[in-house]
Amino acid sequence: MKVIICGAGRVGYGIAERLSEEGNDVSVIDNQPSLIAAITETLDVSGIVGHGAHPEVLAKAGADQADMLIAVTLFDEINMVACQVAHSLFNVPTKIARIRSQNYLAPEYSDLFSRENLPIDVTISPEVEVGKMVLRRISFPGATDVVRFADDRIVMVAIECMEDCPVVETPLKQLSELFPDLNATVTGIYSNGKLSVPSSSDQLHSGDLAYVVCDKGHVRRTLALFGHEEQEAARIVIAGGGNIGYFVAKAIEDYQPKTRLKIIESDRERAVAIADKLRNTVVLHGSALDQKMLMQADIQDADLIVSLTNNDQINILGSVMARRLGCKQNLVLINDPAYEDFTKTLGIDAHINPRAVTISGILQHVRKGRIRSVYAVQKGAAEVIEAEALETSPLVGKPLRDIELPPGIRIGAVYRDQTVIRPDGNTKIKAKDRVVLFAAAGAVRHVEQLFRVSIQYF
């Protein structure tokens, strides 16, 4: 597939890295020569220095032969115009744009991104997606990652196995025997720096991170089974009142009105603006690195601090300071993946990488086959995928025990007629079932083949 990426920043680099590794023909456009030099030196991609919305630059990148254009520059308007030019002059079939300003995404302007107006097939809003991720983490304390699939009926949770976890040192096949009414399946294990897709004979060990796919109604019981019975936060402090912080606070006010919420925002004008918009949230003007400000926010009594500023150092240090002052837990936004490897040693309970969230949102539109949703884990080492089974799929009609799945794939749940089914050897997948599975990076192409729209697979 020929893909053009406008923007060589962190998101653009991450997408180019993933797509080039999978053998796609990738061209990257950016007006900063240093970024193009860096991406072409480290990845197998073509680089073009120039403005991503200019026709001559897109032509140089091969837009007349492109299957997809992904515009992820820092400027919404450039992304939108790049899609328009790609459509009008080069007839690029699929156009994806990152749109950060919520003004463009307001419901009353829903017709803006249509073929007749601005022909953008998919809009990605990092702030909204990250905000939703934060809310999911808050809803399920104890999980280090939470993603929903199948109309929010299936949830993938990443759970650290504690020392007192009752399921450690037990073969996975025995878990279904010990807990027959628990609709949950361990699909991936991250242990000692390595991610694996387990077999039924594998075991979990203390300190492992388990990726569990389960029925939404069974998440809390699953967390408890892994030794996590943390209570949902009743007192929350948000560091950073930008787009993400405001989105999270507004959602908490709307859906969890009993939660006591405070925001610390360093920009006075912004603090005043969000204070006018929020009904029950206390907004404080100051720095999250100021101990007196944290104490003014009653951090010693808080259940959770969520650090959502644009500065990784402030997010990390402020959260560590909050923990030492008595806050029970912290959740940190981290943009630079270099910081992720030592967050735990610093006392960070959980973190979110907005780049990973954005890339996952784009990947579902890159994947071939009837793929409905994709979420990348452990820096792309594996993906959790929701796909729809077709009549032509080799998965349909036979018991799973009689199907030899390619290595690196484990089915976590099947969604049929608004019911979540925990798969076992007797399960038969039917056409139109939605299957949620865990796939190692090297097995993703096999997943695409299993759920291809065409009968060409045979």
- Same domain? For 423 and 405 the reply is yes
Is 437 contained in some domain? Answer: yes
Q: Are 71 and 83 in contact (CB under 8 A)?
A: yes
Record the pTM: 0.86
- Same domain? For 345 and 426 the reply is no
- Same domain? For 281 and 391 the reply is no
Q: How confident is the model at residue 98 (pLDDT cuts 50, 70, 90)?
A: very high
Which residue, 206, 217, 207, is CA-closest to 155? 217
- Same domain? For 393 and 340 the reply is no
Q: How confident is the model at residue 453 (pLDDT cuts 50, 70, 90)?
A: low
- The rounded distance, in Å, linking the Cα atoms of 133 and 146 is 7
Please write the tens of the pLDDT for every residue from 315-332.
999 999 999 999 999 999
Rounded mean pLDDT of 57-82?
A: 96
Please write the tens of the pLDDT for every residue from 24-40.
999 999 999 999 999 99
Is 135 contained in some domain? Answer: no
- The pLDDT value given to residue 370: 87
Is 160 contained in some domain? Answer: no
- The rounded distance, in Å, linking the Cα atoms of 391 and 299 is 56
Which residue, 322, 326, 247, is CA-closest to 291? 322
- Residue 44: alpha-carbon gap to chain centroid: 25
Rounded mean pLDDT of 183-192?
A: 95
- The rounded distance, in Å, linking the Cα atoms of 405 and 446 is 9
- Same domain? For 44 and 112 the reply is yes
Domain edge (last residue) among 124, 146, 171: 124
Domain edge (last residue) among 322, 339, 357: 357
**Alpha-carbon separation of residue 141 from 170, 240, 263, 371 (angstroms):** 24, 21, 20, 29
- Same domain? For 342 and 420 the reply is no
Rounded mean pLDDT of 272-281?
A: 95
Is 230 contained in some domain? Answer: no
Check which CATH number belongs to the domain holding 445 and give it: 3.30.70.1450
- Same domain? For 350 and 259 the reply is yes
Q: Are 248 and 265 in contact (CB under 8 A)?
A: no
Please write the tens of the pLDDT for every residue from 99-130.
988 888 888 888 888 878 889 999 998 888 89
- Same domain? For 369 and 423 the reply is yes
Q: How confident is the model at residue 454 (pLDDT cuts 50, 70, 90)?
A: low
Please write the tens of the pLDDT for every residue from 42-52.
999 999 999 99
Helix (H, G, I), strand (E, B) or coil at 375: strand
Kind of pairing between the strands at 282-285 and 260-265: parallel
Domain edge (last residue) among 316, 339, 357: 357
**Which residue range is the domain that position 342 belongs to?**
235-357
Rounded mean pLDDT of 430-443?
A: 95
> Considering its fold, how many domains does the chain have in total?
3
Is 446 contained in some domain? Answer: yes
- Residue 100: alpha-carbon gap to chain centroid: 16
pLDDT score of 367 more than 70: yes
Quickly tell me which residue has 């628990």 as its tokens: 182
- The rounded distance, in Å, linking the Cα atoms of 338 and 452 is 36
- Same domain? For 6 and 37 the reply is yes
- The pLDDT value given to residue 10: 87
**Alpha-carbon separation of residue 265 from 280, 283, 435 (angstroms):** 16, 7, 42
Helix (H, G, I), strand (E, B) or coil at 288: coil
Please write the tens of the pLDDT for every residue from 200-251.
899 999 989 999 999 999 999 999 988 898 888 999 999 999 999 999 999 9
- The pLDDT value given to residue 359: 86
Rounded mean pLDDT of 420-425?
A: 94
Rounded mean pLDDT of 250-272?
A: 95
- Same domain? For 59 and 112 the reply is yes
Q: How confident is the model at residue 455 (pLDDT cuts 50, 70, 90)?
A: very low
Check which CATH number belongs to the domain holding 58 and give it: 3.40.50.720
Is 217 contained in some domain? Answer: no
- The pLDDT value given to residue 291: 95
User: What kind and span of H or E run contains 412?
Assistant: strand 409-416
- Same domain? For 378 and 349 the reply is no
pLDDT score of 170 more than 60: yes
Is 91 contained in some domain? Answer: yes
- Same domain? For 377 and 307 the reply is no
- The rounded distance, in Å, linking the Cα atoms of 249 and 58 is 40
Is 333 contained in some domain? Answer: yes
- How many beta carbons lie within 10 A of that of residue 345, not counting itself? 7
CA atoms within 13 A on the CB side of 33: 0
